[in-house]
């Protein structure tokens, strides 16, 4: 984004927060809400498409794990995206959102027979994770041609980024066929030679914390393997390369860096032939499409001091910002402070911890931050939370999921909201915890005593 676009995004966010308070979407009775900038999401999709323009056909898929909310998926489907799914739940969410079977990619290291049968029957693209799964598909196809593309995920073993848990191309990663293991490359070539229906390679190095050169190194390894397989088989059997996603997000500031254009430039440098049109390219971006467009806002319930440190107690903690709370150094968030009307606060800064509502001491979304003085009734906003934070809820303390609203800005700067997901009621929390089976364990004990 340009500096003007970045300013526009920040201005729209502030206007949305003020309007949310004004409309009662955020306040004493509804102290927690998620807000998604729809214009920002669509701008990210446009930037992705523009960066990959060229002779190579490209199918961009959105990684559903980043935000499995059906209205968000529908927005991306209408914008021309495909969808990468990694579970039955994500698959059903994608179908409900309107993605057709031919725009889906099914990834998972633990696909069941039933899941594979469904994907094969409907022509959904599949990335197989290992040789045992490949043998399972042999049996399911039983000599039939596959209805959709089938690829093999390979692990180029190019190393880890700054966050080990987000790095999927390490020496011992659980994903894919480890190419540097003894005999692995020969086994992969033989697998393709015996299976004409195997026509893609898939490599995903990781996401947040993985630098662009590392990602490009992994993609180049997959590209060079595809070239070798096609050359040794004497035919263009591999027609598609799924290069994953993983573009890191800047959580330190407003600007988008690296950009999709930066990513493509790195890929072109590492593997120039990747873009010459001989291979269809498939991408699986998630966080980078949504993160900068999301805000989680909470009313400040109390403020206090402990050991000389100010603490602001909010309703946004580990239940919505799970990674930030448990790995604060890897997943820091920018924080904004607004008054009770939703306007940015000014004035001298003070050092403050931003705490959540969960009953453990580490439930902090920010520690030791210099922020304008925070008072009860103010609003604390957690920025860059459009991916994962809205949909990957942690049910600690049985805290209900907050409502999520999307917003757009018209030519006059006016904000319009649309409900994405209703706030979960406390009653729904109780029902989800087994209310209908409340007497089950008591009755079980009674029945066994009677039998004895």
- Residues taking part in catalysis: 359
Distance between CA atoms of residues 18 and 216, nearest Å: 42
Check: CB of residue 376 under 8 Å from CB of residue 57.
no
Distance between CA atoms of residues 370 and 353, nearest Å: 9
**95 DSSP 8-state letter:** H
Distance between CA atoms of residues 437 and 318, nearest Å: 28
Q: Let me know the angle formed at the C-alpha of 418 by 376 and 32, rounded to the nearest 5 degrees.
A: 20
Helix, strand, or coil (residue 85): strand
Cα 106 to chain centroid, rounded: 15
User: Virtual CA dihedral for 257, 261, 263, 264, nearest 10 degrees?
Assistant: 180
- For 348, the token pair is 């001298």
Radius of gyration of the chain (CA): 24
**414 DSSP 8-state letter:** -
Check: CB of residue 158 under 8 Å from CB of residue 221.
yes
Distances (CA, A) of 361 to 324, 351, 364, 365, 399: 14, 18, 8, 12, 17
Residue of 389, 400, 331, 352 lying closest to 35 (CA atoms)? 389
Distance between CA atoms of residues 66 and 137, nearest Å: 28
- For 228, the token pair is 């070798």
Specify whether the backbone of 176 is left (phi greater than 0), alpha (psi in -120 to 50) or beta. left
Helix, strand, or coil (residue 202): strand
- For 338, the token pair is 């607004």
Check: CB of residue 402 under 8 Å from CB of residue 423.
yes
């Amino acid at each position: 984004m340009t500096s003007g676009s970045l300013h526009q995004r920040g201005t729209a966010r502030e206007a949305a927060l003020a309007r949310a308070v004004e409309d009662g979407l955020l306040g004493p009775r509804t102290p927690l809400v998620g807000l998604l900038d729809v214009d920002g999401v669509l701008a990210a999709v446009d930037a992705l498409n523009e960066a990959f323009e060229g002779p190579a056909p490209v199918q961009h898929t959105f990684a559903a794990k980043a935000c499995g909310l059906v209205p968000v998926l529908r927005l991306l489907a209408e914008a021309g995206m495909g969808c990468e799914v990694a579970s039955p739940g994500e698959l059903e969410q994608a179908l409900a959102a309107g993605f057709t079977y031919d725009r889906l990619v099914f990834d998972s290291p633990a696909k069941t027979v039933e899941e594979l049968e469904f994907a094969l029957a409907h022509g959904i693209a599949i990335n197989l994770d290992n040789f045992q799964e490949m043998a399972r598909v042999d049996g399911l196809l039983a000599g039939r041609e596959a209805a959709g593309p089938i690829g093999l995920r390979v692990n180029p073993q190019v190393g880890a980024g700054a966050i080990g848990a987000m790095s999927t191309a390490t020496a011992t990663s659980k994903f894919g066929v480890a190419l540097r293991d003894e005999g692995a490359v020969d086994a992969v070539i033989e697998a393709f030679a015996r299976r004409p229906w195997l026509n893609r390679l898939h490599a995903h190095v990781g996401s947040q914390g993985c630098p662009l050169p590392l990602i490009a190194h992994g993609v180049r390894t997959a590209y060079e393997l595809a070239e070798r397989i096609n050359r040794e088989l004497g035919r263009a059997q591999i027609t598609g390369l799924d290069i994953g996603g993983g573009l890191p997000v800047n959580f330190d500031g407003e600007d988008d860096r690296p950009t999709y254009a930066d990513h493509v430039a790195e890929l072109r440098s590492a593997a120039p032939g990747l873009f010459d049109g001989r291979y269809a390219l498939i991408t699986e971006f998630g966080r980078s499409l949504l993160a900068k467009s999301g805000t989680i806002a909470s009313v400040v319930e109390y403020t206090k001091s402990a050991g000389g440190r100010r603490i602001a107690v909010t309703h946004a903690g580990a239940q919505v910002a799970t990674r930030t709370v448990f790995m604060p150094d890897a997943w820091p968030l920018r924080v904004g402070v607004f008054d009770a009307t939703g306007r940015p606060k000014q004035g001298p800064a003070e050092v403050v911890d931003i705490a959540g509502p969960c009953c453990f001491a580490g439930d902090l979304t920010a520690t030791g931050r210099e922020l304008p003085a925070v008072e009860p009734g103010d609003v604390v906003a957690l920025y860059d939370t459009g991916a994962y934070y809205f949909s990957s809820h942690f049910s600690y303390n049985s805290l209900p999921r907050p409502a999520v609203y999307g917003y757009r800005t018209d030519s006059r700067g006016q904000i319009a909201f649309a409900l994405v997901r209703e706030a979960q009621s406390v009653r729904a929390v109780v029902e989800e915890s087994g209310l209908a089976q409340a007497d089950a364990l008591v009755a079980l004990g009674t029945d066994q005593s009677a039998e004895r």
